[in-house]
């Protein structure tokens, strides 16, 4: 019997495509679990997408690449080193109260959090970012606090949760290519009332919930941790809420052109109907029609029923639910 020879190149490609579990990668990279999750979240470790809330898997080639970097493992661990308020204040040479004030007005932004034994949120900051801030703004670390800083703190300003949300969503947006997945990330920062005002269709809201990417980082397993995550995920500042509503509206316009949200009778795993052509959001038809008009022409269906959903011509405030169709300013 003839033995089929396998080329070395094919063998190398097969070895590179082998994935290891997150636990195995964490051990081989000499990281703690929290450090590993943060490294994946920051994009320092390339991970394969995982479904159903499972931890991501890492290609063997990626693990070998990281182990071959100069200064490993200290170089990798240094990039994900975090500090709480007390340690951060010591690094900057200020009091914990001064450090907390700087964090509340957004001079330094948290990258992670955990719950202490009293179920209180403890914010964590990247050490590299703290040291860079100290080198960039030495005047804010010594002497009396600036008037603007004192005014903001006296008014109750606290942007720590807002900045954490922004960082988290922005990192996930970098990895999300599907318009529905991108829209779901903006939707995740809105409470149910705000979301229903922007997305009136319950099938679309259900689809946004299904399409929301699982974060590789910041997914507490305890009930209290999940409750804390849910509270921190909801935007509570008027400017932030408006920003998310506007971005959700814009992403939805592109997502609806690509495919509609599933209705009863569609694939139960929420995949697009095989009979409906998927169009490039940026594509234009040969006759110069816009993408929504092209969908109507190609499918032979009416793209939008009269009065079902406000269109681009009715203005952005109508589309994000802040003004009723037909209303006019006086």
pTM above 0.85, yes or no: no
d(CA 56, CA 214): 10
Could you tell me which of 59, 122, 33 has the C-alpha nearest to residue 86? Answer: 122
pLDDT tens string 49-95? 766 556 788 999 999 999 999 999 999 999 999 999 999 999 999 99
Percent of the chain with pLDDT over 70: 70
125 beta partners: 83
Instruction: Give the other-Cβ count within 10 Å of 270's Cβ.
Output: 15
The C-alpha atoms of residue 306 and residue 296 are separated, in whole angstroms, by 14
Residue 168, phi then psi, degrees to nearest 5: -65, -50
> What pLDDT does residue 53 have?
58
The region of weakest confidence among 103-117, 157-171, 288-302 is: 288-302
Task: Give the pLDDT score at 206.
Answer: 95
User: What is the distance between the alpha carbons of residues 268 and 222, in angstroms, rounded to a whole number?
Assistant: 29
In a 13 Å sphere around the CA of 97, the CA atoms on its Cβ side amount to 4
pLDDT tens for 256-274 read: 999 999 988 655 554 444 4
Alpha-carbon gap, residue 105 to 251, rounded angstroms: 30
Residues 187-215 have pLDDT tens digits of 999 999 999 999 999 999 999 999 987 65
Structural contact between residues 96 and 122, judged by C-beta atoms closer than 8 angstroms: no
Domain boundaries, the chain: 19-79, 82-158, 177-319
Integer distance in angstroms from the first to the last C-alpha of the chain? 89
């Amino acid at each position: 019997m003839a033995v089929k020879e396998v080329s070395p190149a094919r063998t190398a490609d097969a070895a590179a495509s082998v994935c290891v579990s997150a636990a195995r990668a964490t051990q081989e990279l000499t990281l703690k679990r929290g450090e590993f999750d943060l490294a994946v979240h920051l994009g320092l470790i390339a991970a394969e997408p995982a479904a159903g809330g499972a931890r991501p898997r890492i290609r063997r080639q990626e693990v070998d690449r990281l182990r071959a970097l100069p200064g490993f493992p200290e170089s990798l661990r240094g990039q994900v080193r975090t500090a709480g308020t007390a340690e951060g204040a010591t690094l900057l040479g200020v009091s914990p109260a001064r450090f907390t004030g700087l964090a509340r007005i957004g001079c330094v932004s948290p990258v992670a959090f955990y719950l202490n034994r009293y179920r209180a949120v403890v914010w964590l900051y990247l050490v590299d970012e703290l040291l860079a801030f100290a080198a960039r703004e030495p005047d804010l670390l010594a002497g009396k606090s600036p008037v603007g800083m004192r005014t903001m703190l006296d008014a109750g300003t606290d942007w720590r949760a807002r900045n954490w949300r922004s960082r988290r969503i922005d990192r996930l947006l970098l990895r999300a290519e599907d318009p529905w997945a991108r829209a779901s990330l903006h939707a995740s920062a809105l409470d149910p009332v705000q979301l229903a005002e922007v997305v009136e269709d319950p099938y679309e809201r259900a689809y946004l919930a299904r399409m929301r990417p699982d974060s590789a980082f910041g997914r507490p397993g305890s009930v209290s941790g999940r409750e804390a995550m849910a509270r921190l995920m909801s935007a509570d500042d008027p400017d932030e809420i408006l920003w998310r509503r506007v971005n959700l509206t814009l992403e939805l316009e592109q997502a609806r052109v690509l495919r509609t949200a599933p209705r009863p009778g569609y694939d139960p795993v929420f995949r697009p109907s095989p009979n409906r052509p998927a169009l490039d959001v940026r594509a234009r038809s040969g006759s110069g029609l816009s993408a929504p008009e092209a969908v109507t022409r190609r499918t032979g269906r009416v793209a939008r029923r009269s009065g079902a959903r406000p269109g681009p011509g009715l203005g952005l405030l109508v589309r994000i639910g802040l003004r009723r169709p037909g209303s006019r300013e006086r």
